[in-house]
């Protein structure tokens, strides 16, 4: 019953997407209003059928209908209900179905916001989005069918989803956030294709595309960081980023999307980088598909690679189609993509934006090369190798820091042209302040070069951002005699994009400093700790009290209790765990973390002696890690502020060059 | 201002070349990735001399060393009673050992296991018949370390001169699908060695 219903809905979605796609392209060519109406209707039906299909799958999961293939794969009567609900995205087939639902939500959003106006842009955009939708519905209907009816396996084999996903609540929100980021790039991609097909590449489409890009960009930011946070809280090796191929896969579109958001401003304001901006848009979408290919094809060995799966080749063909069509479109429209303005002087916001875009592109290239290099080595020389963290760190630290530095220079300088004197007067206060604070950090005992440099450039960028937010407020107070709060509120309402952007910059500065400090000043101790005795790490003493084991519905837990003493004073207790899931050989740890603003004390349980008289413990002190999560939250908040729809749609103003 | 009423069908070859120059190699690399299993850890011992060993036999008839087996290709299968797929692989190996027994020598090496459990397991797996090839006990797992065993089962193919020619990670499993049938795969490798 559920099987048939689900399959029926998927076939409906496949049909509506295919027809809608063809009709959309036709309507785009002919400009027919009826064609557009039908395309919108088909897109709406497509979205609705996918959402319903997801609901059917959730219902099957919750009612443990093991005759549905996907439920038979990941279902378990012993899993807690919330695990059962999120099982939807715990494995390949379900996650692609879930992907479809997110695309459906975006399509609904797009239809709702384009009810009036945009008649020229909409048909091609919907056609492109539905082309992508056709591909995913095809996957769900065929190669990754979750709904087929099966003879249920014996109940003992229903062990629930992958234990790594059951281990932490972050797994509930990390995949949806990432998907909202990935899938959301489809809409701006559709707008880009639409603009290229029509040959209408002015600033007007750019403003709309930019705001449609901001939404998935915010989600992608959250998704990437939540992934890091999950790794930190679950994997137990004391870190949050390992340049794992799939982490890289999520970072790549983030980099190009960030570059796009800046390039789009330059195009909007100055008519520069038109071709580049469009290319970034297309590349960002292609990278989300590449990321999905990496996660789902089994080509890369990673914490994310579920299995060797047959959908790899299908995805690769799709990626190839996207890339070739994108290249052709840009090639065909290149003559419309020449710049209107000219670059002012090297000392201008324009120049900072251009260099920062080049650096974003360089960063993307480095990460991409590092990620696919093992494949190349294997193809060419048949050797196994991995590009380790040192490669990525060596290149990403200087590139990243230059980007952060320019994040301060850009907003500090005006658009267009600046004299050397003017530039100096704008830059010297934040620059000297950050240098003085850097010197202070040096005096306080920060000895390593890179963390100090990071601190200086991040402070510089944050100070510029703060000044950029305060200046309009004080100007309003002076000119209009407004009280501070009223002035702030007015300035905020007038320049929400600017405020959003600068808040993101402050978040970036926090994240970057936190990464530099936590990776440079980590302390690690490990050892077998007999009962009643302690392991000492920095000024902490970790006393092993006892171990206990107990059963939870879906796992057996072995927990070791440690009392934490700081400078001899008891500050808390921590219980790192080892969890054993049915159907799984090796236990999976849950580290225990004592977080403070200054540092995290992070305990990872390695083993417990059979008689429970000693515990193998690995302890880390990770300074400033909590600021990473705070910084990321600030970033997402900033994106949200920038993306929040304006009440009145004002035409985008174009600054005279 | 930039609205082209009738877009010229002019294509920019530089843009096309740069675009394809960047994307096609990437696609090629990704395509090549589909033909490699990332979980395949490679075999550093290939074409190297097989590490020597002398290990006690499970049946109690003294010890067996690799030198004693020189002159015949030797197939060394690392396995364990706690291994999930070994019961499925065992009949494949037994069958091959009976068939090729006069041309090649099969040896099982038990990894991280106890002799009582091994004997009982073999008794059950062979349904009371004697094993077609001997099983050795790798005390302390030293031989497995020397061969670089990553997990069980793993099978090494050593030629008559004592050189490692091939390694199979994971089990030889029977299958109705000829492209996935471990029996055929084993035969093919043995055919190459003889």
**CATH number of the domain that B120 lies in?**
3.40.30.10
Give the closest of A290, A319, A334 to B12, CB-based.
Answer: A334
| B180 in contact with chain A, both atoms CB, cutoff 8 A | no
B49 DSSP 8-state letter = B
Q: What is the 3-state secondary structure (H, E, C) of A564-590?
A: EEECCEEEEEECCEEEEECCCCCCEEE
CB A249 within 8 A of CB A333: no
Q: Chain A residues with CB inside 8 Å of B34's CB?
A: 297, 299, 312-313, 316
Per DSSP, the three-state class of B77 is strand
Q: What is the pLDDT of residues A491-536, one digit of tens each?
A: 998 888 889 999 999 999 999 999 999 988 889 888 889 999 999 9
Give the closest of B9, B23, B32 to A323, CB-based.
Answer: B23
Is residue A264, in this structure, part of any structural domain at all? no
Mean predicted lDDT score pLDDT of chain A: 87
Res A382: pLDDT: 65
Domain that holds residue A563: 523-626
Contact A316 B41 (CB under 8 A): no
Whether A657 has a pLDDT exceeding 60, the answer reads: no
Whether A585 has a pLDDT exceeding 60, the answer reads: no
Res A651: pLDDT: 45
Q: What is the pLDDT of residues A607-630, one digit of tens each?
A: 888 788 889 899 999 999 999 999
Per-residue confidence at B88, pLDDT binned at 50, 70, 90?
confident
The sign of the CA dihedral A188, A632, A371, B14 is positive
Contact B38 A300 (CB under 8 A): yes
Contact B32 A378 (CB under 8 A): yes
Q: A48 vs A16, A61, A180, CA distance in Å?
A: 11, 20, 17
Q: What is the pLDDT of residues A545-565, one digit of tens each?
A: 999 988 877 778 899 999 999
Contact A305 B2 (CB under 8 A): no
Is residue A616, in this structure, part of any structural domain at all? yes
Q: What is the pLDDT of residues A378-396, one digit of tens each?
A: 777 666 666 667 788 888 8
Is residue A23, in this structure, part of any structural domain at all? yes
* Nearest-by-CA chain A residue for B38: A301
CB A220 within 8 A of CB A183: no
Per-residue confidence at A253, pLDDT binned at 50, 70, 90?
very high
How far does the CA of residue A382 sit from the closest CA of chain B (Å)? 9
Residue A245, number of CB atoms within 10 A of its CB: 25
Whether A648 has a pLDDT exceeding 60, the answer reads: no
Please give the tally of structural domains in chain B: 1
| B3 in contact with chain A, both atoms CB, cutoff 8 A | yes
Contact A199 B27 (CB under 8 A): no
Is residue A604, in this structure, part of any structural domain at all? yes
Res A306: pLDDT: 47
Q: Identify the top-confidence range among A298-302, A421-425, B51-55, B190-194.
A: B51-55
Res A119: pLDDT: 84
CB A451 within 8 A of CB A520: yes
Contact B30 A316 (CB under 8 A): yes
Whether A479 has a pLDDT exceeding 70, the answer reads: yes
Q: Of all residues in chain A, what percent carry a pLDDT higher than 90?
A: 51
Give the closest of B4, B11, B34 to A312, CB-based.
Answer: B34
Of A81-85, A245-249, A337-341, where does mean pLDDT reach its minimum?
A: A337-341
Is residue A543, in this structure, part of any structural domain at all? yes
Res A419: pLDDT: 80
Q: Chain A residues with CB inside 8 Å of B151's CB?
A: none
- Whether the bond between B153 and the residue before it is cis, its omega within 30 degrees of 0, is yes
Res A655: pLDDT: 40
CB B36 within 8 A of CB A378: yes
Residue A274 tokens, joined: 């038109």
Res A237: pLDDT: 79
Please give the tally of structural domains in chain A: 2
Whether A591 has a pLDDT exceeding 80, the answer reads: yes
Is residue A28, in this structure, part of any structural domain at all? yes
Whether A410 has a pLDDT exceeding 70, the answer reads: yes
Contact B3 A200 (CB under 8 A): yes
Res A160: pLDDT: 79
Domain that holds residue B67: 54-193
| A330 in contact with chain B, both atoms CB, cutoff 8 A | yes
Per-residue confidence at A654, pLDDT binned at 50, 70, 90?
very low
Res A344: pLDDT: 67
Per-residue confidence at B2, pLDDT binned at 50, 70, 90?
very low
* Nearest-by-CA chain B residue for A302: B38
Give the closest of B26, B27, B37 to A308, CB-based.
Answer: B37
Contact A332 B9 (CB under 8 A): yes
Res A136: pLDDT: 94
Q: CA A86, CA A250: separation in Å to the nearest integer?
A: 21
Q: Which of residues 190-209 of A touch B (CB under 8 A)?
A: 199-202
Res A234: pLDDT: 81
CA end-to-end span of chain B, whole Å?
A: 77
DSSP assignments along A505-548, one per residue: HHHHHHHHHHHHHHHHS-EEEEEEEETT-EEEETTEEEEEEEEE
Interface A-B: count of C-beta contacts within 8 A: 99
Per DSSP, the three-state class of B56 is strand
A385 DSSP 8-state letter = -
How far does the CA of residue A329 sit from the closest CA of chain B (Å)? 9
Name which of A376, A386, A387, A652 to mutate to probe chain B: the one with the most chain B Cβ atoms within 10 A of its Cβ: A376
Give the closest of B9, B14, B30 to A293, CB-based.
Answer: B30
Contact B1 A200 (CB under 8 A): no
In sequence order, which ranges of B7-125 are alpha helices (DSSP H)? 13-33, 86-100, 115-125
Q: Which residues, including other chains, have CB under 8 Å from residue B180's CB and lie 6 or more apart?
A: B173
Q: Which of residues 110-139 of B touch A (CB under 8 A)?
A: none
Is residue B114, in this structure, part of any structural domain at all? yes
CB B108 within 8 A of CB B134: yes
Q: CA A243, CA A253: separation in Å to the nearest integer?
A: 15
Res A144: pLDDT: 85
| A384 in contact with chain B, both atoms CB, cutoff 8 A | yes
| B177 in contact with chain A, both atoms CB, cutoff 8 A | no
Cα A408 to its chain centre, rounded Å, is 23
Here the ipTM equals: 0.79
Contact B16 A327 (CB under 8 A): yes
Contact B33 A336 (CB under 8 A): no
How far does the CA of residue B88 sit from the closest CA of chain A (Å)? 18
Per-residue confidence at B3, pLDDT binned at 50, 70, 90?
very low
Q: What is the pLDDT of residues B61-82, one digit of tens each?
A: 889 998 888 888 999 999 988 7
Is residue B112, in this structure, part of any structural domain at all? yes
Contact B36 A334 (CB under 8 A): no
Name which of B2, B41, B46, B177 to mutate to probe chain A: the one with the most chain A Cβ atoms within 10 A of its Cβ: B2
The candidate with the shortest Cα–Cα distance to A130, out of A260, A257, A3, A38, is A38
Mean pLDDT on A326-340:
84
Contact A331 B12 (CB under 8 A): yes
Res A418: pLDDT: 78
| B9 in contact with chain A, both atoms CB, cutoff 8 A | yes
pTM here is 0.82
CB B10 within 8 A of CB A333: no
Is residue B107, in this structure, part of any structural domain at all? yes
| A117 in contact with chain B, both atoms CB, cutoff 8 A | no
CB A95 within 8 A of CB A174: no
Per-residue confidence at A576, pLDDT binned at 50, 70, 90?
very high
The sign of the CA dihedral A59, A64, A68, A74 is positive
How far does the CA of residue B13 sit from the closest CA of chain A (Å)? 7
How far does the CA of residue A396 sit from the closest CA of chain B (Å)? 21
Q: Chain B residues with CB inside 8 Å of A378's CB?
A: 32-33, 36
Whether A268 has a pLDDT exceeding 90, the answer reads: no
Name which of A267, A379, A386, A586 to mutate to probe chain B: the one with the most chain B Cβ atoms within 10 A of its Cβ: A379
Q: Chain B residues with CB inside 8 Å of A328's CB?
A: 16
Contact A299 B26 (CB under 8 A): no
How far does the CA of residue A266 sit from the closest CA of chain B (Å)? 17
Whether A59 has a pLDDT exceeding 90, the answer reads: yes
Half-sphere exposure of A38 (CA within 13 A, CB side): 17
Contact A332 B38 (CB under 8 A): no
* Nearest-by-CA chain A residue for B19: A327
B163 DSSP 8-state letter = B
Final residue of a structural domain among A110, A135, A161: A161
Q: What is the pLDDT of residues A358-382, one digit of tens each?
A: 999 999 999 999 888 888 877 776 6
Res A97: pLDDT: 95
Q: Chain B residues with CB inside 8 Å of A320's CB?
A: 27
Contact B15 A327 (CB under 8 A): yes
Residue A426, number of CB atoms within 10 A of its CB: 19
Whether A174 has a pLDDT exceeding 50, the answer reads: yes
Q: What is the pLDDT of residues A220-232, one digit of tens each?
A: 999 999 999 988 9
Is residue A138, in this structure, part of any structural domain at all? yes
């Amino acid at each position: 019953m559920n099987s048939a219903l689900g399959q029926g809905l998927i076939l409906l979605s496949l049909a509506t997407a295919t027809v809608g796609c063809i009709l959309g392209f036709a309507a785009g060519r002919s400009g027919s209003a009826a064609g557009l109406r039908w395309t919108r209707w088909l897109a709406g039906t497509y979205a609705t059928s996918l959402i319903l299909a997801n609901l059917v799958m959730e219902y099957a999961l919750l009612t443990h209908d093991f005759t549905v293939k996907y439920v038979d794969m990941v279902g378990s009567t012993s899993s807690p209900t919330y695990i059962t609900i999120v099982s939807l995205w715990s494995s390949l087939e379900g996650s692609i179905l879930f992907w479809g639902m997110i695309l459906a939500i975006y399509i609904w959003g797009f239809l709702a916001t384009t009810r009036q106006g945009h008649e020229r842009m909409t048909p091609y955009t919907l056609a492109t989005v539905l082309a992508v939708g056709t591909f995913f519905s095809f996957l769900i209907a065929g190669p990754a069918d979750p709904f087929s009816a099966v003879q249920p396996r014996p109940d003992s084999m229903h062990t629930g989803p992958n234990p790594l996903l059951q281990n932490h609540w972050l797994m509930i929100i990390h995949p949806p956030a990432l998907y909202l980021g990935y899938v959301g790039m489809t809409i701006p991609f559709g707008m880009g294709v639409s603009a290229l097909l029509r040959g209408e590449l002015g600033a007007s489409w750019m403003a709309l595309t930019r705001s449609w890009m901001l939404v998935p960009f915010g989600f992608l930011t959250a998704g990437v960081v939540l992934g890091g946070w999950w790794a930190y809280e679950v994997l137990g090796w004391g870190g949050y980023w390992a340049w794992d191929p799939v982490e890289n896969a999520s970072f790549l579109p983030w980099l190009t999307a960030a570059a796009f958001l800046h390039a789009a401003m330059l195009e909007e304001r100055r008519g520069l980088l038109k071709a580049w901006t469009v290319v970034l848009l297309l590349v960002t979408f292609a990278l989300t598909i590449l990321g999905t290919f990496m996660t789902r094809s089994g080509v890369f060995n990673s914490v994310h690679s579920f299995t060797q799966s047959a959908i790899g080749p299908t995805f690769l063909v799709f990626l190839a189609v996207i890339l070739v069509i994108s290249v052709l479109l840009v090639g065909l429209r290149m003559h419309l993509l020449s710049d209107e303005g000219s670059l002012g002087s090297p000392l201008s916001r324009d120049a900072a934006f251009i260099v920062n875009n080049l650096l974003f592109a360089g960063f993307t290239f480095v990460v991409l090369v590092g990620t696919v290099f093992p494949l190349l080595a294997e193809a060419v020389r048949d050797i196994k190798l991995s590009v380790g963290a040192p490669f990525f760190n060596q290149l990403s630290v200087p590139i990243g820091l230059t980007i952060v530095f320019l994040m301060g220079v850009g907003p500090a300088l005006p658009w267009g042209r600046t004299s050397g004197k003017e530039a100096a007067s704008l830059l010297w206060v934040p620059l000297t302040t950050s240098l003085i604070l850097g010197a202070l950090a040096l005096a306080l005992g920060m000895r390593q070069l890179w963390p100090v440099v990071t601190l200086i450039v991040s402070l510089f960028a944050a100070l510029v951002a703060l000044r950029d937010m305060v200046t309009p407020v004080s100007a309003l107070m002076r000119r209009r005699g407004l009280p501070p709060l009223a002035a702030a509120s007015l300035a905020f309402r007038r320049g929400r994009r600017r405020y959003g952007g600068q808040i993101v910059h402050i978040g970036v500065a926090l994240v970057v400093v936190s990464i530099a400090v936590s990776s440079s000043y980590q302390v690690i101790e490990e050892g077998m700790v007999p009962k009643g005795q302690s392991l000492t790490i920095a000024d902490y003493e970790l006393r092993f009290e006892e171990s206990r084991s107990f059963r939870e519905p879906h796992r057996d837990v072995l927990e070791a209790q440690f009392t934490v003493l700081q400078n001899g004073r008891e500050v808390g207790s921590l219980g790192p765990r080892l969890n054993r899931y049915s159907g799984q050989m090796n236990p999976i740890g849950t580290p225990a973390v004592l977080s403070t603003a200054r540092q995290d004390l992070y305990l990872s349980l390695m083993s417990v002696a059979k008689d429970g008289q000693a515990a193998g413990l690995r302890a880390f002190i990770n300074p400033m890690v909590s600021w990473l999560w705070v910084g990321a939250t600030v970033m997402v908040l900033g994106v949200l502020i920038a993306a929040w729809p304006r009440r009145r749609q004002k035409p985008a103003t174009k600054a005279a060059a | 201002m930039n609205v082209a009423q009738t877009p010229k069908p002019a294509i920019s070859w530089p843009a096309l070349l740069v675009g394809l120059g960047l994307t096609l190699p990437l696609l090629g690399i990704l395509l090549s990735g589909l033909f490699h299993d990332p979980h395949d850890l490679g075999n550093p011992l290939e074409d190297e001399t097989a590490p020597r060993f002398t290990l006690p036999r499970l049946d109690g008839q003294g010890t067996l060393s690799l030198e004693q087996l020189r002159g015949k290709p030797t197939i060394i299968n690392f396995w364990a009673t706690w291994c999930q797929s070994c019961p499925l692989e065992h009949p494949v190996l037994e069958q091959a050992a009976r068939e090729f027994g006069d041309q090649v020598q099969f040896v099982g090496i038990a990894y991280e296991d106890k002799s009582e459990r091994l004997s009982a397991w073999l008794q059950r797996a062979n349904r009371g018949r004697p094993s077609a090839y001997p099983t050795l006990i790798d005390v302390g797992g030293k031989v497995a370390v020397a061969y670089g065993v990553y997990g069980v089962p793993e099978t090494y193919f050593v030629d008559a001169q004592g050189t490692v020619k091939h390694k199979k990670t994971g089990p030889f499993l029977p299958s109705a699908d000829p492209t996935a049938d471990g029996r055929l795969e084993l035969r093919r490798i043995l055919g190459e060695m003889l």
